[in-house]
Amino acid sequence: MITVREINTESEFRQLRDAWEDAISRSNNHHCLFLSWEWLYSWWRVYGDDGRTLFILVARDDDGVLLGIAPLLLRRATLFGLKTWTVLEFLGSGEDPKEKVCSEYLDFIVCRGREEEVMKAFFAYLGEQVCRWDVFSLESVLEYSHAVRFLHLLEKQHALYIMRCSNNGQGYNYMSLTGSWEDLLQSYRASGRCLYTAIRRKRRALETCGTIEIGEVRDENELDAVMDRLIHLHQLKWNAVGKPGSFRSERFTRFHRTVAPLLLKKGRLILPHLKVNGTIQACMYVFTYNGRSFYYQTGYNPHFPSKFSPGFTLFTYFLERSVQRGTRELEFLRGECHYKNRWSGQKRRVYELLITRKEPGGMFFIARTRAERAIRGAARKLLRENRPVTARNV
C-alpha cells in the first residue's frame, strides 16, 4: 500500500535533500536539473514569501521507501483585487512575468517501474483535497511527462475542464551530440548550412585581436567575479537594443546568486567565458546534469566589433568541449530564436495545462488566461518582427 503525506514547512523541505536526490536517480526524471533539490529549494527561498504555501506530496510504501515526490505549492491569484482563486502548481513556476525563472520540464518525480500506482495515489490525494484548490496549473510539461500521461486518473474522479496549449510555438530546440567534434562539423558541411565555414572564419578573425582565452569556472573563488561579468554583459547586450534584460529583476538575480554556488559544488554549473587580452567579452550561463547541458543565458559586449562575433565564437568552443566531455544532449530551452534553428532542428513539444472543475469561477480563470496568452502572443510577435538583428550574436 502507498501512503501519501503532505510537507508544508521549509524545514521539512530542507530535510528532504538527500532523499530527493535519491528519488530523482531512481526515476525517469534523472536528466532534469530543474527538478533537482538545489534548484527548487533555492527557488522557494527567494519566491516562497509571496503568498505561497508549500504543498509537497511524498509517497512511500509500507516499508517507508520513498517512491515519489510531487513538488507542488498553493498560491492565491487575484483579479483587480475582486476575485481570488487558489492555484495549485509546481514549485518553480507561477512567478510574475518580469521575474520569471523559466523552470523547464517540470513534473512529478516517480520511481521507475512504479509510475502508475504512485501517480494513482497522488491524484487520489489531490482529488480528496479538491476543495482546497480552484485551478491546477501545470506549466512547462513535456508531452510524455508523468503529469500528462496519467492525467486521466484525476479526470476519472471529478468533472474537470482541461485547457492544453503549446508553451513555445513549435517546441524547444535541442541537439543530440554523438560522435566527435569533427563529425559534427562535417554534418554541418554536408547539410549545406554555412555554419561549417562560419566557425572556422570567426575563430581565425578573433585570433587577430590579441590573446584569446576560453575558460570555465572551476571553484567558488572565481564564481562571483564571473557571475558579475555575465550579468553586466547580459544587461549591456539587451539595453543596447532598448530591452530591459532578464537580470533587471532583483528577485531573479537573487535567485541565481543563491542557486549558482549550490550547483557549482555539485559540478552542475558551467560558466564558459571568452577573454580577449585578459578581459571577458562573452559569457554563457550553462547547467549540466547527468549527460545533458542546459543553455540558460548569455551575455556579450555589444561594443566589441561585431565582425569578430565573440558570442558566436564562444558558443562554438563550448560546443566543442561539450562533445569532448561526452555530453549527450544540449538543450536550448524556452524562446523562439533564429539562431537555435541554425544549430539544430530537433524539437521537444512542451505544454501548459490548466485544470479546473466545471464551475463558473474556474471557467472564468481559464477565459482570463486565454485572453492574457493571446495578448502576450501578439506582443511577442510584434517585438520579433521589429527586433534588430544585433539582439543575438549566437
pLDDT in tens, 187-234: 888 876 678 888 989 999 999 999 999 999 988 999 999 999 999 999
Please state the domain extents for the chain. Answer: 3-169+349-385, 178-327
Tell me the pTM.
0.90
Spatial distance between the Cα atoms of 57 and 91, rounded to a whole number of angstroms: 12
With cut-offs at 50, 70 and 90, classify the pLDDT of residue 389.
Answer: very low
**Intrachain domains 3-169+349-385 and 178-327 with the same fold:** yes
Q: Where is average pLDDT lowest: 21-25, 130-134, 175-179, 336-340?
A: 336-340
Specify the length of the chain in residues.
394
**Mean per-residue pLDDT, 43-50:** 92
d(CA 173, CA 330): 9
Angle value at C-alpha 187, between 182 and 191, nearest 5 degrees:
150
d(CA 283, CA 262): 20
- Of the pLDDT bands very low, low, confident and very high (cuts 50, 70, 90), residue 393 is very low
pLDDT for residue 345 is more than 90 = no
Considering only CA atoms, which of 295, 315, 278 is closest in space to residue 393? 315
Question: Which stretch of DSSP H or E encloses residue 351?
Answer: strand 350-357
Structural contact between residues 37 and 16, judged by C-beta atoms closer than 8 angstroms: yes
Q: pLDDT (tens digit, 9 = 90+) per residue, 290-333?
A: 999 999 999 999 999 888 899 999 999 999 999 999 999 999 99
Strand 329-331 and strand 292-300: the pairing is parallel
Q: Domain 178-327: state its class.
A: alpha beta
The answer as to CATH 1.10.10.10 being correct for domain 3-169+349-385 is no
pLDDT at 218: 87
Do 356 and 135 meet the contact criterion of CB atoms below 8 Å apart?
Answer: yes
What does pLDDT average to over the chain?
89
Report the C-alpha gap between 322 and 293 in whole angstroms.
Answer: 8
